[in-house]
Amino acid sequence: MYTSEPFPTAELRAAPPHELVATARRLLADRVGAEDVTLLLADYGLNVLQPVTHLPHTAEPIAAHDGPAGRAFISQTPVVEARNGSTPAHLVHLPLTVRGDRLGVLSVRLPSGATDAATMLQLTDFATALAHEVTTADRDTDLYLQARRTRRLTLAAEMQWQLLPGRGCARQEYVIGAHLEPAYAVGGDNFDWSTSSDHLTLTVTDGMGQGIDATLLTHLAVGALRNARRAGIGLADQACLADQALFAQYGGKAYASTLLLQFDLDSGTVHAVDAGSPQLYRQRDDTIEQIALEAQLPLGMFEETLYEEQTFHVEPGDRLIVVSSGVHGALAADGGSFGERALRQTLSATRREPPHEAARAMVSGLIEHFGSKDLAADAAVVCLDWTGRASNTERHAAPAH
């Protein structure tokens, strides 16, 4: 009844940015007899999946961690839901992900019996293509950005979310998942990464202060680090140049605590500069240890600070977790600290979870400890699962596919 040819994704690429959902609905109706198509995007707090509709985006959201759509989002695998009625049908929920960055779910209602393996494979590929187009469309329309928010962002949060590279990244050698709270009022916390053929550079920055002042400080710090990194400068010198940029602007009155990490994808050697308060933990099998790096001055505290690199090693199966001061130093309403014990308990409980869920669970535990979603300070968590790369010998000896 329906063609088995690949979906004409060129039509998605040619569609106006705001008409991606309508184009997807038409293509899926023609190719697989889809009776309904809904694009659901995860909100900034990763609490709900919001349908993309025309303004003012009043369609009812659904839970991001419960139900069939939530399972597809968490598991990153398609979930088929049987729907009984006058006309039996299946509702297929497909994860929308771009290089490890989870955007949401595409829900497609199909006639009963239309969920054969070939169709499911086509739908999965189509969802991936749509995810890439949504990411590209964000440059030209506010539609998908508006659909990600359950309420208005503060100006500081708006600026911070635009500064982030995403909330996840995946390659053969590693998977990154990150989470940031309070999502709608975040100020100074930031995470950033960049990957190349042989290296991954990862930074976590905690700008001093709150609100727009912290955001402006963090923007300058991240911009300076990116500028130095893109000039091909080494990790310690990246910190030095960013330090100079901040001191030139603020004269030591404001500074940014930053942890800089650079991974060698071949060897697993990690070069690190600890310029402030973010803390780093490593889980190896069932052992959790804080990686004690030499504490150096935050960026911008003094003029022309010199920074030195340290090294440590990661092995396949290792998990690294970076937490900002808003996590490890958070206080509850009664004055009690979240503390290392609670942090370690959360890490142990989420060891089998994917990095995205481990990072989210860490912040959820913090919110429960604090007693409110309105945290007193920004909280950033970055979780990285390291697979590593086979040795050159092993790669060369591997059979061709």
**What's residue 79's pLDDT?**
95
**What's residue 401's pLDDT?**
35
pLDDT digits (tens, 9 = 90+) for 185-225: 988 899 999 999 999 999 999 999 889 999 999 999 999 99
What residue spans of 16-63 are helical by DSSP H? 20-32
Rounded distance, CA 182 to CA 385, Å?
24
Assess contact for 358 and 350: CB atoms under 8 A.
yes
Residue 397 has pLDDT above 50, yes or no: no
pLDDT cut 90: percent of the chain above it: 70
Residue 72 has pLDDT above 70, yes or no: yes
Assess contact for 192 and 164: CB atoms under 8 A.
yes
Highest-confidence segment of 109-118, 139-148, 366-375: 139-148
| 3-class DSSP assignment, residue 155 | helix
Strands across the sheet containing 62-63: 62-63, 48-51, 36-42, 101-111, 89-98, 79-83
Q: Read off the pLDDT band of 339 (50, 70, 90).
A: low
Q: What is the DSSP letter of 17?
A: G
Higher pLDDT, 333 or 37: 37
Rounded distance, CA 69 to CA 64, Å?
7
Q: What is the DSSP letter of 339?
A: H
Residue 58 has pLDDT above 70, yes or no: no
The reported pTM is 0.90
Apex 173 CA angle, 170 and 176, nearest 5: 35
